[in-house]
Amino acid sequence: MNIDIKNKKLSDWIKEAADMCRPDDIYVCNGSAEEYNLMIKKLLDHGSAIQLKKRPNSYLFRSDPGDVARVEDHTYISTSSKDEAGPTNNWIDPVQLKETMKGLYNGCMKGRTMYVIPFSMGPIGFPISKIGVEITDSPYVVINMHIMTRVSDRVLELLSTDGDFIPCLHSIGAPLAEGQKDVLWPCAPIEKKYISHFPEENLIWSYGSGYGGNALLGKKCLALRIASAMAKREGWMAEHMLILRLTSPEGKRYHIAAAFPSACGKTNLAMMQPSIPGWRCECIGDDIAWMKVGADGRLYAINPEAGLFGVAPGTSYDTNPMAMDTLKENVIFTNCALTDDGDVWWEGMDGDEPLHAIDWKGNDWTPESKTVAAHPNARFTAPASQCPVICGDWEKPEGVPVDIFIFGGRRSSVVPLVHEAISWDHGVFLGATAASETTAANIGAVGNLRRDPFAMKPFCGYNMGDYFQHWLDMGDRVGDKAPRIFYVNWFRKSDDGKFLWPGFSDNSRVLKWMCERVDGKAVARESAIGLLPKEEDLDVQGIGISGDDMKELMKVDPAEWKAEIPDIEQHFAAFGSRLPERLKKQLEEFKKRLG
């Protein structure tokens, strides 16, 4: 080991992990540029990193075809009772799960180095930040954690002799016998993959996958699954939300936190360039928000991450110019295609498709190929500080005050472009019943309707009925200082299958109406589902949208909504006695309004 660890809990844990996993060597990370370059050199020498000629300090990786996304079916919330985990989580008894995983961990790092990664979610030493330590045998994980979190020896200094941290144990599950040649993307077969969370102990164990949120344990595992359980106990909120600042032509700032399921445009909205003259958008975070009640009684949000881990396919100068500008250097790309001139390419990127490329599996690809060049869930990992519209206050210790919450999903029909909640409880009902048509970022058949409450279904670390109650309780705490709640659907289609709303930069027009609602400048009209914009209040000047299309976009058909009721009832029934009475009341009131 290259460093003396002063914190007894940490040194004991490292020893315990080393005795179980039996690595050849132990390396404690310090977060320096030299260390990052050392890891890159290892990965280049190994053959798994491909240097990109066209982008300085940027590299392409190809995962094993069986290790391309979050494995929700192998993700566990392991609590003392199944009821504590709730119906939306996979549960295994903690004693049984640890026994199984200890068997897998036994000797799993033979022939490899164990890396100890001290990291902070949120700027180091901030009041709302949390410290984690990830143990891994993957240098690919080390470089990604360098970008996505704040890896630093300052974290060890902060821990001192007795500071607390969240232990995160990870192994790719591919020990090497002496003389055995390594593969380019080592991982375990799917049946041996486990992404396990023990929220009662603030503990994460992950085995068998080297990909994304399965392996970068600061991300969904710590910042959402474990943090949501901590937030419930400690009286704050950990949410799957982007955070942006919208500034009006008069200079008034509005802070908006929005929850959408994966592949519903979170990153695009977080970096939006408003199409309305005089309005300006700045990105604070594109994926996760931690919120606490401030001294003035309002909710304040920080982005606990240091990087962006975005879906590449579909990202272009048309859809998200600021993301494209973020990706010019210092980026890790995974499962994108490689062009002959040494750049990355993916479906939906600007310009002509290449005449020839190497696809994400390492095979020759041409436009005539029957397969895609980049995996639909191909990713980029980039420092958030590189984003041209990163907000100057994105690392403010106390966070930014939240004015507006937005929920939404991908619906081709039924749900209008925007509506506002009648009250906080109604807003919680909207979040609790949120639904989206599935995409490549979720496991399951594409296009199925999936209830994804608060976009947190895969990420809530405890019983979601209790999570709904926590939202109601937080609303009670902030009272009349609570953010206003809205629901959006950018994805409504016409009968011939075309998107009715242009989306992207024009989404600013919907956000402008929300800000005017907050200021009391815009009047809403009542409907069975909530408050809708008056036609003249939604600024659609210059975007060439027809009156008929606007009517279709804002249409609320009671018969279509009545058809949703059995699905909502079935969804709520799963929570049994844990479903808050106030949500049952909201459902009954909704039925009455529908008539």
Tell me which residues are annotated as active site.
Answer: 264
- Contact between residue 237 and residue 223 where contact means Cβ atoms under 8 Å apart: no
DSSP tag of 90: B
Spell out the residues 6+ positions from residue 96 whose beta carbon is closer than 8 angstroms to its own: none
Q: Is the dihedral angle over the CA atoms 323, 325, 330, 332 positive or is it negative?
A: positive
AA letter at 137: D
DSSP strands (E only) in 85-241: 113-121, 130-136, 150-151, 166-171, 194-198, 203-207, 237-239
The Cα 568–Cα 431 span in angstroms is: 12
The Cα 146–Cα 35 span in angstroms is: 10
Q: What secondary structure does DSSP assign to 454-475, as a single string?
A: GG-TTT--S-HHHHHHHHHHHH
The Cα 32–Cα 413 span in angstroms is: 50
Nearest by Cα to 389 from 325, 307, 308: 325
Q: Rg of the Cα trace of the chain? A: 24
- Contact between residue 166 and residue 203 where contact means Cβ atoms under 8 Å apart: yes
The Cα 387–Cα 314 span in angstroms is: 18
3-state SS class at 567: helix
CA angle 56, 215, 165 (to 5 degrees): 105
The Cα 17–Cα 10 span in angstroms is: 10
The Cα 280–Cα 508 span in angstroms is: 9
Token pair of 154, please? 């300052």
